[in-house]
Chain A
Amino acid sequence: MTSLAFDYRRPDSVDQALALLAEADPGTKVLAGGHSLLPIMKTRLAQPGRLIDIGHLGELRGVHRLGDGGLSIGALTTYSRLLANPAITVYGLLADVLPTIGDVQVRNRGTIGGAVAHVDPAADLPACLLALDAEVVVRSARGGRTIALTSFFEGAFNSVLLPDELITEIRLPAASGDYGSAYRAQEQPASGYALAGAAVVIGRSTGGGGRFDRAAIGITGVGECPYRASAVEQEFLSSGDPAAAAHATDGVLVASDIHADREYRTALIRVQVRRALEAAIERVG
């Protein structure tokens, strides 16, 4: 199919983009890599009246180190660019996840900002960013704010982002002490998205053995949007045992579809969380 007709704008700067967004036309959508938005426009599930194409804005691209050792990832950074950046090697789970997202074309077009803004319930990267305690930096003509990713997602395809706001960057805090991370997922074989995926970051602030005092676990494909499995985190911090994965869906309404019903998905995510924990423990150092 082809999409409905729409008005197309191509601002020259972030400020221009924000000015266009400030016109607050409810039918307006930002276009980044287009790999989530355009397919749903072609099937007419999405019918935006206006697209603001930001795909070419260099200001929003690139990865750089922050003063505190954290990482700033421009919203328009593609998966491929991120994967090629040496800075990410310390985040083992990013090296796990990025090569598994879509295919080469998807990774060359799909952007980090788009992945966060779209809030696909089964997207891979958001679970990893959750586990990394990422922050979302947004701007609008009214000003800017920084939102912890843990309070960014609101439900399927839904976030706290306001219609006039643009995501400009994603920030990852510095990695410190001994820590390890891993992403383990089983693909939904048709779409390649996660049927159930678990991102784990664990760490000890004091090196050289001892108890873990940090555990962050992001889960995708299971709930209505990616979430942190805090029950697993707490259990793991006290037991140090990957069996804590049994709590992966505590308090979550587990999704059910033709590929995985509630019961199977629940069993599957427990396995993935446990395996991700085991892999992360092995990588600690």
Chain B
Amino acid sequence: MAIDALGASIKRREDPRFITGAGNYIDDIKLPSMVHMAILRSPYAHANIRSVDVTAARAMPGVIDVIVGADVPYNPLPMVWPAGGSAGLRNNVNSPRILATDSVKWTGEGVAAVVAETPAQAFDALAAIVVDYEPLPAVVDAEKAVAPGAPQLHENAPNNVVFEWSVGDSAGTEAAIEAAEVVVRQRLVNQRLIPNPMETRGDIGWYNPGTEEYTLWMSSQTPHIQRLLVGIFTMGIPEHKLRCIAPDVGGAFGTKIFCYADYALVLLASKRIGGRPVKWIEGRRENYQSTIHGRDHITYLEIAGKRDGEITGLRVKTLANLGGRLSTIGPGIPTTLYARVLSGCYKIPNVYAEVTGVYTNTTFVDAYRGAGRPEATYVIERAMDLFAREIGMDRAEIRRRNFIAPDAFPYDNPSGLGTASGGAKIYIDSGNYEPALDKALAMVGYDDLDARKVEARLRGKYLGLGLSTYLEVCGVAPSKWIGAVGEGWGAAMWESSNIRVHLTGKVVLTMGTSPQGQGHETTYSQVISHELGVPVDDVIVQHSDTQGTPFGYGSYGSRTSSVGSTAAIKAAGKIREKARRYAAHMLEAAPEDIEIDGANYSVRGSPDKVKTLQEIAFALDLAFDAPVGMEPYLDETAYYDPTNCTWPFGTHIAIVEIDEETGHVDLVRYVAVDDVGNKINPMIVDGQLHGGIAQGVGQALWEGAVYDDQGQLLSGSLLDYALPRAAWLPSFELDETVTPSPVNPIGVKGVGEAGAIASTAAVSNAVVDALGPLGVRHLDMPYTPQTVWRAIQTAKGGQA
């Protein structure tokens, strides 16, 4: 066999088409007789709709149809992850309608839609729609929304509360805090972010009047799930009448997991106009208001422990802003995926968290790269620094002191995943945290830190170093756990794979997962090349079309390499077993005597009696010599439901320099030692880490959605919402430790989110460390020059 492709940094097979303009994104698809839709969005954050007059719009050039809320015969969008558990299920779910009918709850909520021959005609007609709004007072801040006298968004949600949920041992944590030698308290804001995939969303809906079937092309991470959510949940159409196709998807970061109103709207529009396909492409400014946002927590933390650095208790109260109506799994993110992982990689005996979900007049909030885990990492990593500072302990030392010990796995976290309801308990199955910390400290030259701070002061800079020893949970998820209502989203999360070895020996791998630029076509080919002994180029990966691929839950939560690959490996195992049986027939030997080496199937002891996989596939396809009872073809499907999640971890270290006069923060070094288990393609792993780190740094230094008090989004475009740029970042210095995951046969863990989970806290801790000598203990992100300058002025007793 040639070199094993598994673990090799081969170039991504999909890149040539992506970077030469040969990709096939939604807006590249042009169907015969296709028309265009534009959506009129509310200019008010909170208003009642008195009337919508579309008469003038209907008369505009090129206009084919105008749709208002009252025309839509469908349900509101499904919301499938209520917080449940300790909160109890409340009957206060308000999810978006396909078009608003009587009120709007955020600027950007869809009110009417125009279908026209060209996009420009559709936009022009939007301006002719007359909506009579009754503006209402708005509230955008979660803390203000739950205060007495706040504007009320929904009759069924008094005080704008979606849920009040808790996890952990309230009394035990109270006692630990009471008894502690030291307690540190801090309010933290984890600001709202706008995700910004390079490709905005978009869809094409087509109703076929001949077959009465619908087809939906969508920029989605979850075409199979959407076939259910858009189909049966929203429109009342079962799976066999709706086909969902996600072509090339230009980034998503979680935003394209969810069920959006435009999906049903393009299908409805196509049906109303007799079956011409209807395309809708989201503009960037529109994306800022109609696609989910991320984060937006206000947290009060208390961390308690001993003067020797042992942490004995952590209590957290978080207000999670979920927007004007609920997105598909909005409540699940700040509960299960945040509060149950708050203790990170530390052994903290008493943890208690209360989370309140809140409606505000803002865009809905849901999973954004890391989804809950970056927020949790931020809380615990800031808490460790705050505590260390309080007791005068070294920040690396306090982490070491509290790490879960390498012999304590599987570790049963008392407030961890699976403690809410009937679902299966989830254990932290493996880990070894100190080697990553030691390596990162050595790389960064931790011992020289003080000298470097002194040197920076001579240049008018404050230098700071920040640590983030993160733990992430991914590879979601065992259905027995995630399927439990209240704990998870009431549905499974297995994956599926089909493999066909064709007559020529070429392999078609068909997956239920759905990439958005991660390189799945490359990494799956590497896995199958390894499993079947065929060259990578002989494997083609098909995905993201509900017609022709087995059901799958899609790609998010860093689950594809762990859950998807294992399904593929299982399917490959079935292929090998059938090939072995047929090789035995061909070579007149017993199946047990067939030895498999790559693609060669030989008789034990007679290596010259050998058949290749291609020869076997050829013969099994033609099948004239097949033994009685053996089905033709090498075609096998497998489903895999993981037994546990996976638990990547590592240490990230940031060094920043702050200009004392302007407050400008410069990230000067970034060191990351990650343990993501074994790697299918180390180059792709590095790429995921680089992008994730940059994204997390973006939150720390630049990004933040800003609303005014009336609910207008002031950071409404890329002119005012700052994304990280390559030139602002240092060369990342990456290294690894390798603790293979025990849950899957290749020991991978998942790396899609790790960078974003770890880096925000590292940079935040570095900035606060830099300002520490001035007496600054904490500062909320993003660390824009103005924010940092003001902190410096305040600390120095200046006029600010």
Using a CB–CB cutoff of 8 Å, the interface residues on chain A facing chain B are 1-5, 43, 186, 188-191, 195, 258-261, 263-264, 267-268, 271
Contact = CB atoms under 8 A, between A and B. Distances in A.
5 contacts: A5-B124, A258-B720, A259-B784, A261-B786, A268-B785
A271 B661 contact: yes
B786 A260 contact: yes
B124 to A, nearest CB: 7
Interface in B706-724: 706, 714-715, 717-723
Interface of B: 119-120, 123-124, 283, 285, 661-664, 702, 706, 714-715, 717-723, 784-786, 789-790, 799-800
A251 B714 CA distance: 28
Nearest to A270: B661
Contacts of B721: 190
Contacts of B784: 189, 259
Interface centre among A189, A191, A195, by most chain B C-beta atoms within 10 angstroms, is A189
B662 A2 contact: no
A263 B800 CA distance: 8
Nearest to B285: A43
A190 B718 contact: yes
A264 B789 contact: yes
A42 to B, nearest CB: 9
A154 to B, nearest CB: 23
A259 B786 contact: yes
Nearest to A267: B789
Nearest to B727: A103
B124 A4 contact: yes
A263 to B, nearest CB: 6
Contact of A2 (B123, B663, B719): B123
B720 A264 contact: no
A258 B124 contact: no
Contacts of B790: 264
Contacts of A2: 119-120, 123
Please report whether the interface of chain B is mostly helix, strand, loop or mixed according to DSSP.
Answer: loop
Nearest to B61: A5
Given A1-B285, A271-B661, A271-B662, A191 B800 contact: no
A190 B720 contact: yes
B280 to A, nearest CB: 13
Nearest to A190: B722
A5 B661 contact: no
A258 B714 contact: yes
Given A189-B702, A263-B800, A268-B785, 19 more contacts: A1-B285, A2-B119, A2-B120, A4-B124, A188-B722, A189-B722, A190-B723, A191-B719, A191-B720, A258-B706, A258-B715, A258-B720, A259-B720, A259-B786, A260-B786, A264-B789, A264-B790, A268-B789, A271-B662
A190 B719 contact: yes
A268 B784 CA distance: 13
A5 B120 contact: yes
Contacts of B722: 188-190
A137 B785 CA distance: 39
Contacts of A195: 785
A191 B790 CA distance: 22
Contact of B662 (A5, A186, A188, A190): A186
Nearest to A263: B800
Contacts of A1: 123, 283, 285
A191 B717 CA distance: 10
A189 B698 CA distance: 11
Closest 7 CB pairs of A and B: A189-B722, A190-B722, A2-B120, A264-B786, A191-B719, A271-B661, A258-B706
Nearest to A2: B120
B461 to A, nearest CB: 14
Nearest to B723: A190
Contacts of A271: 661-662
A5 to B, nearest CB: 7
A267 B790 CA distance: 10
A43 B717 CA distance: 11
Contacts of A188: 722
Nearest to A42: B283
A4 B285 CA distance: 17
Contacts of A267: 789
Contacts of A3: 120
A155 B287 CA distance: 32
Contact of A268 (B283, B662, B702, B714): B662
B722 to A, nearest CB: 4
A131 B124 CA distance: 44
A267 B799 CA distance: 11
A188 B786 CA distance: 11
Contacts of B663: 264
A4 B702 CA distance: 33
Contacts of B723: 190
